[in-house]
Structure formats: structure tokens, C-alpha cells
Amino acid sequence: MTRPSHARPNVVIVICDDLGYGDLSCNGGTVIATPRLDELAANGVRATAMYSGGPTCSPARAALLTGRVAARTGVGRVLFPDEDTGLHKDEMTIASYLSGAGYATGAFGKWHVGQMPARGPLRFGFDHYFGLPFSNDTPPYFLYRNEEVLEDGPDMSSLTRRYIEEAIEFIDNVPEGQPFFTYVAFNTPHYPLEPDPEFEGRSAGGPYGDTVESIDHHVGVLRDALEERGILEDTIFVFTADHGPWFEGSTGGMRGRKFETWEGGTRVPFLASWPRQLPRSGVVNSPLASVDLLPTICHYLGLDPDGKPVDGQIIADTLEGREAPEHDPIWYFDGYELNAVRKGKWKLHRRRQTWAAERFATMSLPQLFDVEADAGESYDLSRRHPDVVAELSRLMDQQEGTIHRSDDDGRLWWLEGNVDAR
């Protein structure tokens, strides 16, 4: 596994809220135009099987930021503004490690992993914050700068543009020679849809499509700014989403949506570029997980993530197109419950969230799917492969054996020890 020749690249992570895998043209979408994201894919790596840390907003963000299964972090479920809770105060995020290594760190957009200010971004490694801490359907709508309320009830349709403008201003204020970490978390295309007026009525995908095309444009604006400043070559740039789409949006033909641990609820778009290190037009079909980002970024920067144990693994070889061992099991959580596991091509469901349209979904559990051949999870192969069911059940038992009931509210919490399930 090689180290980069340029040891201190900048890092930019952009994450969308409720964006579907199939909403991007480069992922096969045909309704919404995403030329700038397609350009990003053509100049970097596109992963077809990237899994978020959960099918809802808060757990997905907690997992990405900490490199840990969300239920370990104190954020195993969606958080709300009236709750005095969030990430455990001793959690280490990507920003924590990079700030400790001398990076300037800024977060822009939706936080949603802790109450402000006690568990806001500035308490977890970020130097600067500008954003709406919760979802755009969860009042009160306070827009923060750092730890102070800047506006009460901002114009939601302008936030995508404003986040990018603030991120560029932050980058411009970083002293010359100091690397930076910029984390941009759009509130869109989460419902309710309030498209930027500049893009309203443009897309064949209606207001949802207008919103996605605005995201596409503004990601392009950010990348253009990096190129104009001569630093795009030295920047690790990641684009992804927190989980599958909600009321609208395309899963790319996969079953399920947000809130569900079917593929459509947890498999997300993932694009990464770093011209000095990653191949162009690379496609990765093997499973990856958002918890892999922290250890992989630390690897590239020569940092040791020596805080709490991480669940992610270094995926540098995979991203760079070299042969790599099979990925560790992918865990599918619904809140604090482990619903399913994927290992290789096999995915085993032992429980799941049920909705009216899926009222019979629990009657035939456990179910086994070959998600390489059947991403729609339409054909149960458990009776044909009982040995695979037994092996994946054993892995789930091991993971579930490391949980215990907390003394305060009865929710499930994860112990610090990791299970070696490779």
C-alpha cells in the first residue's frame, strides 16, 4: 500500500441530504442533468456500492465523521433540536485528526449530530462553522456562524449557494502553505423542496430535479474555485450522500428508500478525485463503506487514528485500482438494531423496518440475496445456500454480542471492542 508523494493534500467532503443513487447521470440517471458531477466522475473514481452508516440522517453523518458504527458514537438514531444529546464528547472526527495535524478546518451546512453549541462542530475539531444544524423540516430554523445564531428563518432556497460561497471564502482565508479540510453538508434535496430561483423550472425532474441540478452547479463552482487557485491537483475531493432518497428521487432500481435497510436506503452515490494519486474514470464495484473515509484519509496524510477504535478500513488500494482483500462485512443498522449484513456478494436480512406496503416483509425472514446479480433484492436464495446463511448469521451474532443496554434510557449501545469478522 503506497503513501502519496504529496503528503499534505487538502481535503474536501461534500455530502447531500436524501440524494438518490440513480439521480446522477454517471450512475445511469436519465432524467436529471448532472454534468459537473459527471465530470468529477470522469476525472476520478466512482464507486457503485458505497454504503452509508445508516438509512437516516444523523447516524449516516456520525459514521462518516468518526469512522465508527453510528451506534457506538451516541448517535444511532435521528436527533431533534429539543434534545440535549449528540456525539459522545470524546469522539474523534476527521476534523479532530486533521486539526491536530495543522489543518484549517471548516464545516458548512447541516450538522445534525449534536445540539448546538455544546455538541456542535467547534467541539469536534472544526475551527469554523456556518450552517443550519438540523434538517430543513425541523424547526426552529436557526442559521449559525460558529456558535452564535446569525439568522432566524433563513431563505432555504439560497442555502446551497451560500454554503459554497462561505466555503470558498474560508479557503481563501487559509494562510498560504497551510492545508485545509472543508466539509460541506447540503440540506438538499431533503423535503420540503425549495429550489434556488435560478434553477427553478429547468429540470425534467420537476422541483426535485431543479434542486439536484443546483447542487450539481454549485459543486462545480467549488471545484472551479479550487482550480482557479491552483490547488485542485492537491485536493482530495469526495462527493456522496447520507442515505437513499425519501419521497422523490431515484434509487437506480434498487429496492427500498430512506429509513429502510434495503439497498435503496443505504447504497449512496460516491465520487472521489485526487489528480495526483487517484486514477481517472476509475470504477469500483466492490462494496465500500462511509466509515472507511476516516482511516483512508488518515492513511494518505500519514496520521494514526489513535482515538476510539474505528470500524472502517483503509481502502486506498481499492480506490487506486490495485488488488485488495475482500472488504470487511458491511453492517446495516436501523437505529440501534442490526438488521442485515453484506459480505462479498451476499446480503442476509434478519430483521427490517416495515411499512404498509411491506407489511409481509418480515414473514419470510431470514432472507439471503446475491446483491451483485440482484440489486433489487427480489429473489431469496436462503434455502439454496444454508451454509451462507449460517456464516452470515454467525457474524451478526458476534456483532450483536458486543452490545449492552445502557443504564440511562434503555437504548442499545456498542462496546468499544471491535469484532474481527474478516
Over pLDDT 70: what percentage of the chain?
91
What confidence score (pLDDT) does residue 419 get?
A: 35
**Could you tell me if 41 and 272 are in contact, meaning their C-beta atoms sit under 8 angstroms apart?**
no
List, for residues 185-222, the tens digit of each pLDDT value: 999 999 999 999 999 999 999 999 999 999 999 999 99
Q: Note the pLDDT of residue 364.
A: 84
Residue 2 clears pLDDT 70, i.e. is over it? no
Q: What band does 3 get if pLDDT is binned at 50, 70 and 90?
A: very low
Please provide the CATH number assigned to the domain covering 330-414: 3.30.1120.10
Q: Is the pLDDT of residue 40 over 70?
A: yes
Which whole number is the average pLDDT over 42-49? 98
Distance (Å, rounded) from C-alpha 262 to C-alpha 59?
16
Determine the Cα–Cα distance for residues 255 and 269; give it in Å rounded to an integer.
15
Confidence label for 360 from pLDDT (cuts 50, 70 and 90): low
pLDDT score of 358: 57
The pLDDT score that the predictor gives to residue 403 is 61
**Residue 84 corresponds to which amino acid?**
D
Q: Please name the amino acid found at residue 25.
A: S
> Which residues contact residue 85 at a Cβ distance below 8 angstroms, ignoring those fewer than 6 apart?
74, 79, 114, 115, 119
Q: Report the chain's mean pLDDT, rounded to a whole number.
A: 92
382-399, pLDDT tens digit by residue?
A: 999 999 999 999 999 998
Range in 177-186, 281-290, 351-360 the model is least confident about: 351-360
Residues with Cβ within 8 Å of 192's Cβ and at least 6 positions away in sequence, in order, are 136, 137
291 CB-near residues (< 8 Å, 6+ apart): 53, 63, 64, 66, 67, 68, 69, 310, 311, 312
pLDDT above 90: residue 371: yes
Mean pLDDT in residue range 349-357? 74
* pLDDT higher than threshold 60 for residue 327: yes
Q: What pLDDT was estimated at residue 418?
A: 39
Q: Alpha carbon of 168 to those of 47, 124, 187, 222: distances in Å?
A: 27, 21, 18, 7
pLDDT grade for 7, boundaries at 50, 70 and 90: low
Residue with cell 444529546: 85
pLDDT of residue 401: 78
Which one of 2-16, 213-227, 401-415 scores highest in mean pLDDT?
213-227
Q: Mean pLDDT, to the nearest integer, of 41-47? A: 97
CA-based nearest residue to 247, from 15, 14, 20, 16: 20
pLDDT, tens digit (0-9, with 9 covering 90-100), for 295-314: 999 999 999 999 889 999 99
For 51-75, what is each residue's pLDDT tens digit?
A: 999 999 999 999 999 999 999 999 9
* pLDDT (average), residues 320-332: 95
pLDDT of residue 417: 39
Pick the CATH number of 10-319 from 3.30.420.10, 3.90.1150.10, 3.40.720.10, 3.40.50.300: 3.40.720.10
| 1, pLDDT greater than 60 | no
- Return the domain boundaries, the chain: 10-319, 330-414
